[in-house]
Structure 1
Amino acid sequence: MIIAENLTRSVVRPLAFTDLERDSLKALGWNLPQEAMHLVHPHWRGYPAPPFYSHLLLGLIYFALMVSSTIGNGIVLWIFTTSKSLRTPSNLFIVNLAIFDLLMMLEMPMFLANSSAGRLLGYDLGCTIYAALGSVSGIGASISNAVIAFDRYKVISNPMGGRLNFVQASLLVLMTWIWTMPFTIFPMLKIWGRYVPEGYLTTCSFDYLSDDHDTKVFVGMIFVWAYFIPMVLIVCNYARLFKHIQAHERMLSEQAKKMNVKSLQVNDTNSTSAEIRVAKAAFTIFFLFVCAWTPYAAVTMTGAYGDKNLLTPTATMIPALACKIVSCIDPWVYAISHPKYRMELEKRVPWLGITEKSVSGTESTGDTLEIKG
């Protein structure tokens, strides 16, 4: 009963521990040496340390995600880089996204070690490496989604002249890596912002809890750079794509009426319309982006500008988990639905049980869906 009351008080008034309560209830950071306590924001020190089973459960989940993402994205890299028919400029973006997702998986062994110990290992250096990997992979995956949206709009809206060549695609890939650098290097070198432990103190991210003006501006800027701008680019490109598809479908319908036929699409009953297929893929991509980064954006903005008492250790562990889950789903959304990729999987990895039939009405080229007029 006493412990339950203490836990209740710690959630309602997280900084209100008495000396007696501290003796009977371990607080977050209790097992860190004094020289590492400067990394822990005072907000976290008022919460009770999570039970070991919480670390164990998260460790098991992260291990499963690490294995799943490594296999899924590893197969994507293997198939797309070794199959001649899939070596197209547009597919460079899928390969690039898989690399960013795999880079995120490099955090996993560090997290598993931290969870086993129940604390941050490596202290300042370990925290910096962990957070920098998360920054590069997270911002990189975010802007890569925007580049893929732009590429799909270009290819589908103008199949003959809208395709990027390898030089253009390579420059866009390079741009995604450059895009990750400012808000990774600034806190790494403590030029602007800093990397600190968060949640259960077994993960690290940029500081979004400090009340100083520099931190608040940093959080606002990284929100715009890593979330708002990619979100706007994705929405704009897919909105333009939908508009083009609707116009295309309307043109086909009018032409069919003039020719007194039901439809101009070949084998229409055996294939989904281009509008529905692209709409489903685009919505899935957009939905994954929102699921992956909106929770984290909400947490950081709340920490900088809202009520910090809403950010409990458990609540702040969920957004990071969402990002990891999406990195496992990405290879299925971007690649498993790719007909030529599925054919390669059927040929090279038959035990997966994947089969692919030729598509009529809408043809799949080596890089993306192409609408036939």
Structure 2
Amino acid sequence: MIVSNLTVGTCTRTNSALCSSAGDGHSEATSFRTLSPTGHLVVAVCLGFIGTFGFLNNLLVLVLFCRYKVLRSPINLLLINISFSDLLVCVVGTPFSFAASTQGRWLIGKSGCVWYGFANSLLGIVSLISLAVLSYERYCTMMGATEADATNYRKVALGVLLSWVYSLVWTVPPLFGWSRYGPEGPGTTCSVDWMAKTSNNISYIICLFIFCLILPFLVIVYCYGKLLHAIKQMSGVNTTMGRKREHRVLLMVITMVVCYLLCWLPYGIMALLATFGAPGLVTPEASIVPSLLAKTSTVINPVIYIFMNKQFYRCFRALLKCETPQRGSSFKSSSRANKPVRAVRRADNNFTFIVASVGQATTVVHNQADNLEERPPSTDSAKPAVVSLVAHYNG
């Protein structure tokens, strides 16, 4: 993750492994302020909690994806990319900062500090860009004039590749002289050097802030805003179902945006204060809080984007009960239905409606937020089952 280097920093004996570059023009000749032993202990406990639950949550997501074929849809591949990057943060990043906090100093030297800063920055930006790509994909699926192709992985695969390439574009430059990676906060983690006042460093920080924090946020707000607008339009077509869906998606969108801001906005604000503010403006205690909030995204992301998804939740319950999805259950993919389908497409103003008669097959409702929901067939054999698919807003 892009962890902020927010306190005035160079060397003391406890951080001597990081001090060899103090005279290279990047650091200021001031004393490195650190936390009290109690402060380091509190940070270690928080990091232990974040690392443990972040690892378990994201590992569970990957297990569900591997076990249940019904989850292997294109849009879920983006969710898996988010979980994979967050899982790597818990494996290659958090253990080192946890160990350093227990000892009150960085433990793996200058090279380890550079590697830690690069790896966490790379994985953090991958997660942020994946969230933006996910919102854009949902927006395109909702606003598209045709049904999404559940077998076409090409577009989503390009989105996953984009998230990694984009992240590399912004995390490799510090390795070659555009800014640098160094100790952050109280000296127990490493990240981009936010403290250097050179034009080289400030230009990189401004670009990083705009293109890796503000831009993804704007994409998320725009796409989910348009999605909510489309669902509101559909509410007028089917009041009961439309209102229910509108409220559910509105809750999900608000949760996503609030958690994004809670995790990352304090991070960006404190980093800018450290970069452009007076030396000593940000204390070690204040600097470590945004860093911890950003790391909690590894715990929160699976909860919001995975376990609020009904498909994943059903598979999770089946996993807990050691069940195998049965034929005709809610796990069954609609594409496997062997009943003949008669589809009628009609246009009405800015909407396209699709209605299909499927005999006595299960009723499938296409839900853009939660993929597919299937309901059991009606017990009334006199009435044919009618499948009401999503209404596409074409405006």
Residue 337 of structure 1 aligns with which residue?
308
Q: Secondary structure at the match of 1:33?
A: helix
**Equivalent pair of 1:155/1:162 in contact (CA under 8 Å):** yes
**Equivalent pair of 2:310/2:370 in contact (CA under 8 Å):** no
Q: Give, as a single letter, the amino acid of the residue that structure 2 aligns with 1:80.
A: F
In the alignment, structure 2 segments of 5+ residues that lack a partner are 1-7, 323-328, 332-362, 374-388
Residue 210 of structure 2 aligns with which residue?
224
**How far is the alpha carbon of 1:199 from its aligned partner?**
1.0
- Larger relative helix fraction: 1
CA spacing shift, 1:34–1:108, aligned 2, 3 Å = closer
Residue 186 of structure 2 aligns with which residue?
200
Q: Secondary structure at the match of 1:224?
A: helix
**How far is the alpha carbon of 1:115 from its aligned partner?**
1.7
Residue 12 of structure 2 aligns with which residue?
29
**How far is the alpha carbon of 1:46 from its aligned partner?**
5.4
CA spacing shift, 1:233–1:308, aligned 2, 3 Å = farther
**Equivalent pair of 1:28/1:46 in contact (CA under 8 Å):** yes
Residue 390 of structure 2 aligns with which residue?
372
Q: State the distance in 2 between where 1:191 and 1:207 align.
A: 12
**Equivalent pair of 1:339/1:364 in contact (CA under 8 Å):** no
- Give 1:300's match in structure 2, choosing from 271, 277, 281: 271
Find out whether 1:100 has 2:100 as its counterpart. no
Q: Give, as a single letter, the amino acid of the residue that structure 2 aligns with 1:30.
A: R
CA spacing shift, 1:80–1:44, aligned 2, 3 Å = farther
Residue 275 of structure 1 aligns with which residue?
246
- Give 2:173's match in structure 1, choosing from 186, 204, 210: 186
- Larger relative strand fraction: 2
Pairwise CA RMSD: 2.9
Q: State the distance in 1 between where 2:257 and 2:279 align.
A: 29
- Give 1:55's match in structure 2, choosing from 36, 40, 45: 40
Q: Give, as a single letter, the amino acid of the residue that structure 2 aligns with 1:368.
A: N
Q: Give, as a single letter, the amino acid of the residue that structure 1 aligns with 2:235.
A: E
**How far is the alpha carbon of 1:168 from its aligned partner?**
1.0
**Equivalent pair of 1:79/1:341 in contact (CA under 8 Å):** yes
Q: State the distance in 1 between where 2:245 and 2:29 align.
A: 51
Q: Deviations over 1:304-357 (max 9, x none)?
A: 223343211111111110011121011111111222211211111239xxxx99
**How far is the alpha carbon of 1:209 from its aligned partner?**
1.1
Q: State the distance in 2 between where 1:34 and 1:362 align.
A: 60
CA spacing shift, 1:174–1:120, aligned 2, 3 Å = same
Q: State the distance in 2 between where 1:74 and 1:130 align.
A: 21
CA spacing shift, 1:286–1:361, aligned 2, 3 Å = farther
Residue 70 of structure 1 aligns with which residue?
55
Q: State the distance in 2 between where 1:168 and 1:54 align.
A: 47
**Equivalent pair of 2:141/2:368 in contact (CA under 8 Å):** no
Q: State the distance in 1 between where 2:16 and 2:310 align.
A: 54
**Equivalent pair of 2:48/2:98 in contact (CA under 8 Å):** yes
- Give 2:235's match in structure 1, choosing from 230, 234, 249: 249
Q: How does 1:284-323 map to 2 (within 5 A)?
A: 284-323=255-294
Q: State the distance in 2 between where 1:155 and 1:46 align.
A: 51
- Give 2:66's match in structure 1, choosing from 81, 87, 92: 81
Q: Give, as a single letter, the amino acid of the residue that structure 2 aligns with 1:31.
A: T
Find out whether 1:172 has 2:143 as its counterpart. no
Q: Deviations over 1:229-251 (max 9, x none)?
A: 10111111111111111111124
Q: Secondary structure at the match of 1:197?
A: strand
CA spacing shift, 1:310–1:361, aligned 2, 3 Å = farther
Q: Secondary structure at the match of 2:182?
A: strand
**How far is the alpha carbon of 1:101 from its aligned partner?**
0.8
Q: How does 1:102-117 map to 2 (within 5 A)?
A: 102-105=87-90, 106-117=92-103
**Equivalent pair of 1:155/1:163 in contact (CA under 8 Å):** no
Q: Give, as a single letter, the amino acid of the residue that structure 2 aligns with 1:76.
A: V
Q: Deviations over 1:156-200 (max 9, x none)?
A: 33484345720111111000000110221111x232110011111
CA spacing shift, 1:224–1:43, aligned 2, 3 Å = farther
Q: Secondary structure at the match of 2:13?
A: coil
Find out whether 1:45 has 2:48 as its counterpart. no
CA spacing shift, 1:219–1:124, aligned 2, 3 Å = same
Q: Deviations over 1:56-98 (max 9, x none)?
A: 2211211111110111000001101221101000000100000
Residue 121 of structure 1 aligns with which residue?
107
**How far is the alpha carbon of 1:372 from its aligned partner?**
3.4
**Equivalent pair of 1:28/1:200 in contact (CA under 8 Å):** no
**How far is the alpha carbon of 1:210 from its aligned partner?**
1.0
Q: State the distance in 2 between where 1:338 and 1:192 align.
A: 41
**Equivalent pair of 1:285/1:333 in contact (CA under 8 Å):** yes
CA spacing shift, 1:369–1:337, aligned 2, 3 Å = farther
Q: Secondary structure at the match of 1:161?
A: coil
